[in-house]
Structure formats: C-alpha cells, structure tokens
Amino acid sequence: MASPFLPIFEDFFRLTESTPLAEHHLAFRQAVNQRLAARPHGRADDWDQIIADLTPPKDSIALLNEPAVRLTAPGPVDTDKLRSTLAKLHPWRKGPFNIFDVFIDSEWRSDWKWSRLIDQIEPLRDRNVLDIGCGNGYYLYRMLGAGAKLALGIDPTRLFCYQFQALQLLQPQNDAAMLPLLDEDLPITHRFDTVFSMGVLYHRKQPEVHLDICRQALVPGGELILETLIIDHPGEAYLKPEGRYAKMRNVGELPSVARLFKQLSASGFLNAQVVDLSPTSTLEQRATDWMHFQSLSDFLDPKAPELTIEGHPAPLRAVVSAKAP
C-alpha cells in the first residue's frame, strides 16, 4: 500500500520553514504521523490512482475571490475526463468549484456562509489563518482570495485530503496547506492571527476544550470566527440530544447564544459578538450530482420542517467572533 503521508502535507512545512511556525514543525509532523497511523484507510491506493490520473493544464489561473472557486487555462482541457476523474472523489461536501468549466455543485453552498461573514470580521489580508475542520479546503481558497498570507486547514477525513490534493495539483502553487489532524492534535503555537472553527463545536463532548485549543492557536488579540448550531433561547440554555440530532450521531451540545458567550468567556475570549444568525435551508444544504447521499431535506420532519426528524428544533446556525486575550 502507498505511503499514507501524501505529498500535499509537505506544503505546510515548506510554506512555514522560515517563519516562527517552524519552531513547531516537529510537533506537527509527529501529530500527522500519529493520526495517519491511528486511522489507515483502505481506499488510499484507489485515491492515489485518481490523483495520478489528473493532468494539470499549462498556465492555469486560480480565481479565488468568486463564489465558485474557479480555475481557468488558456489551452484546451478534456472536461469529460476531468469530470469523470473528480467525480470518483465523491462526495463533495463543500464548494462550489468551477474547475476548467467542470462545475462541482457541492452539498453545501459554502459561498453563502462566506458572504454572510467576510465583511463582518477583521480583514484577512497578510494574516496567518487556521481553519479547523476545513473539509476539502473551499474556505482556504476564499481566505487566500481575501489576502491571507497563509491558510492552513486541518481535517482528519482522508477523502477531503485527497480532494484538496486534487485541487492543488490543478492550479498554480499557492499559500494554502492542509494537515490530516483533529483539533486535539494541534500543538500550542499562539501563531495564528485568525482561527476559523465552523461546524465543529457541536461535535465535541467537551466544547470548552475545543475553545481552549482555538485560543492556544491564536496570537494575543487574534480573532476567533466560530460557527455552530445553537438553540433559540434568551437564557443560558442548551440542548443535549439523546440519540441523534438531524440523523447525526455525534452531536454533543447545542447552546443558546448566552451559554455560548459564557463558554467563550470561561476560555478567556473577549468581546464576543454575533456576526450572523441564520436557519439552514434546504437550498443551502442539499443532495446534488456531486453529493447524492441524504441531505438536509431527509433530516427534517416532512410534516413539520421546523423540526428535525427526531423532533428537535431544526438547524439554526450562529457565527460568532471573539478576541484572544
């Protein structure tokens, strides 16, 4: 079987070799090796072959500040072959992407979430940015499009790592990188100017531990952008679903905004404020040709869509910003 240490993981070490993050290279490399050893994947050889089948066009151009992250090239591209190859990396959860006129209509309209928050946070220009739970890297590209100096994503899901590797292979070298890590694998660095945690907190049994990890990644005064499921309640309430929530097994807690602010304060964060509050619609999260498993419409009560199939309040998501001390 091929080595599980994908070439794409080396980009982080190359990009940061002459920066203060180089002090933490050994800890990052050890964490990556431990995570890969703990979670081998039986499809690695298949995915390696998919990557090998991709042929980067000459003189490609990346347009990273558009709703669909777009790659173009002056010469001809075999779009049928490209579409067939990228489709083998199904399912595509985050996006959309327009790859040489192959439109990847992902499950999530991630561009909608990005448009709701980008003008409400500290500008990303010249910042080192960390995206915890980055998926296939869609937001990493939007971060670079907004001027980030470094966009590092972490996500342990091996398929997402291969999707990111495919996207990187097809475009010019850039300042995005990805490592196959969980939040708990991160060394304490205090080196990132902005940390994004979107769709992670409610999967943690101990949300305060995740918030501590985010704070320990930030420089003093750095900004946390936290997106999570919440409940609509004026007090310090929370929902701990017994069993599943919207068919998800690993949901720990859905806090009210007041409870979330209290948790942020307990972790040392300052100046917490709501950037956006939006219910998730079946237009924003849905099955497509690029993600043909069940999606949000299957997770809601068909007779009462304001409820999940289990009878809980339907997904309501808050984006909150807060500052590290």
Domain contains 300: yes
In the chain, the number of structural domains is 1
Percent of the chain residues topping a pLDDT of 90: 94
Domain contains 14: yes
Residue 91: predicted pLDDT = 98
- Mean pLDDT of all residues belonging to the chain: 96
Domain contains 2: no
Q: Which two tokens stand for residue 36?
A: 């890969």
Residue 107: predicted pLDDT = 98
Domain range for 225: 7-323
pLDDT, tens only, 197-243: 999 999 999 999 999 999 999 999 999 999 999 999 999 999 999 99
Contact 265, 323 (CB under 8 A): no
Domain contains 1: no
As to burial, measured by CB atoms within 10 angstroms (0-12 exposed, 13-18 middle, 19+ buried), residue 18 is exposed
Domain contains 277: yes
CATH number (domain holding residue 250): 3.40.50.150
pLDDT, tens only, 295-325: 999 999 999 999 999 999 999 999 999 999 9
Domain contains 239: yes
Name 73's Cβ contacts closer than 8 Å, sequence gap at least 6: 57, 58, 59, 60, 61, 100
Domain contains 313: yes
pLDDT, tens only, 25-82: 999 999 999 999 887 788 889 999 999 999 999 999 999 999 999 999 999 999 999 9
Residue 218: predicted pLDDT = 98
